[in-house]
Structure 1
Amino acid sequence: MQLIECRLEIDEIDSFVADLGDLGDRHSVTIQAFDARYVADRRHLERAVEFADRAIDRGENVARDRAVEILLYAAGRRQIDRALAMGVDAGETRAVVLVDGDSDEDETAALEAVEALDAFVDREPTLETQDIETLCDFFDVPDAEREATDASLSALVRERVALLEVEK
């Protein structure tokens, strides 16, 4: 799995999603773009990929598309329409683009192709800082829970990803 932290300027979301799908097919990888505000850290997305692949291998996946299944796990939700809030939208977005395939070469080629898209503005660190309020609201992490544990917010978000596996 490789990530590119960046800024995107998306004119038309359906066209952008189709472009990502085409690039994924061309390079034999899965590509998913996330609004960086909802990504706790790299490990958050690694766990989402692990659980999505496990669900697919077991025939327990909700989505037909692997990229959407990864989004569901990353969002900690089984409803696709609710999970889509974690994806990018039209306009300017600080983003994290995930590329996952069987080879580093395919992933690297796909990342380069993503950077060549019109919507790609620039590489920009997006995972260095967290929007704590946004993460807590999106993943339903109340203040009381944060105060009752030594776990980091990232760890609590990853717990939500893992709980989705248990709750199905």
Structure 2
Amino acid sequence: MIIKSVKNGNYLIAVSGLETEGFEVSSLLGSINELSNETGITLQLFDSSLIATWEHLFFSALNALKAFNYGKNISNNLSVECLLYTSGQRQISIAVKNFGVNAETKDIGIILIGDDINLLQEVFKKILLITKGSENDAVLSINSKDKFEKIRNFFQITEIELKTICGSDEWTSCIEALIKYCIERSSLLVLQK
């Protein structure tokens, strides 16, 4: 789990990846909502298949926090706002369909937002128990051409855009370019009407 302090230390954003054997979606979401309500920790789960590294999740959470702080939020719920920023979509239904956990999800991305590092770690441990999962941040990585193309297509990143930033045909350079574009698409959500 990666934890970063933001906004002069007022908030902590934690992101992580999990591997699971699968779960019953409504039961999982009910338990997660209950955990969030009990602890006051904002949390959001994602199907990791469109997540472009931990940075994608971190900057999405940061942008969601900024949107709330400046009154530019789309939704009335910070966890939903994180989902919208991660997806780069203003439509909740599109964000849920593409980034929400579902019956086929095995690999999960997580965002946790709070102000107490010990509580964030405690909530994360409870999520591991609820999902019967194990921490594996590698599920957030772009580790295959299929995932690369799936992300590129979803965010409608053209070959020209990639080559502009990529600078070479080297795989790692192209992955870094794709990550930058995903973060950029997320950041630009506030400007969409």
CA drift of 1:3 comes to 2.4
Q: 1:16 to 1:81 in 2, by over 3 A?
A: same
Which deviates the most, 59-68 or 108-117? Answer: 59-68
Q: What code does the residue aligned with 2:150 have?
A: T
| Local SS of the residue matching 2:64 | helix
Measured after TM superposition, the shift of residue 114 of structure 1 is 0.3
Equivalent residue, structure 1, for 2:163: 147
**What residue identity is the alignment partner of 1:123?**
E
TM-score (norm 1): 0.90
Alignment of 1:1-168 (within 5 A): 1-84=13-96, 85-117=98-130, 119-124=131-136, 125-130=138-143, 131-150=147-166, 152-168=177-193
Task: Provide the C-alpha distance between the structure 2 equivalents of 1:64 and 1:18, rounded to a whole number of angstroms.
Answer: 19
Contact kept? 1:9, 1:91, Cα under 8 Å: no
1:17-74 alpha-carbon deviations (Å, 9 max, x no partner): 1211111122221111111121112221121112111222233322222111110001
TM-score, length-normalised on structure 2?
0.79
8 A contact 2:15–2:111 mirrored in 1: yes
- Deviation at residue 92 of structure 1 after TM alignment: 4.0
The worse-fitting range, judged by mean Cα deviation, of 85-94 and 4-13 is: 4-13
RMSD: 1.7
Quick one: higher RCO (CA 8 Å, sep 6+), 1 or 2?
1
| Partner AA of 2:113 in structure 1 | D
Query: How far apart in 2 are the matches of 1:51 and 1:107?
Result: 19
Query: Separation in 2 of the partners of 1:129 and 1:15?
Result: 29
Identity of aligned residues (%): 25
Any idea what SS the aligned residue of 2:133 has?
Answer: strand
**For 1:158 and 1:104, how far apart are their aligned partners in 2?**
25
| 1:163 alignment partner AA | L
In structure 2, the CA distance between the partners of 1:71 and 1:81, relative to structure 1 (3 Å rule), is: same
- Number of residue pairs aligned between Structure 1 and Structure 2: 167
Question: Which AA in structure 2 matches 1:152?
Answer: A
- Aligned amino acid, residue 35 of structure 2: L
Gapped regions of structure 2 (runs ≥ 5):
1-12, 167-175
Q: Which moved more, 1:7-16 or 1:105-114?
A: 7-16
In structure 1, how many angstroms separate the alpha carbons of the residues matched to 2:19 and 2:160?
34
Moved more, 147-156 or 121-130: 121-130
- Distance in 1, matches of 2:188 and 2:104, equals 32
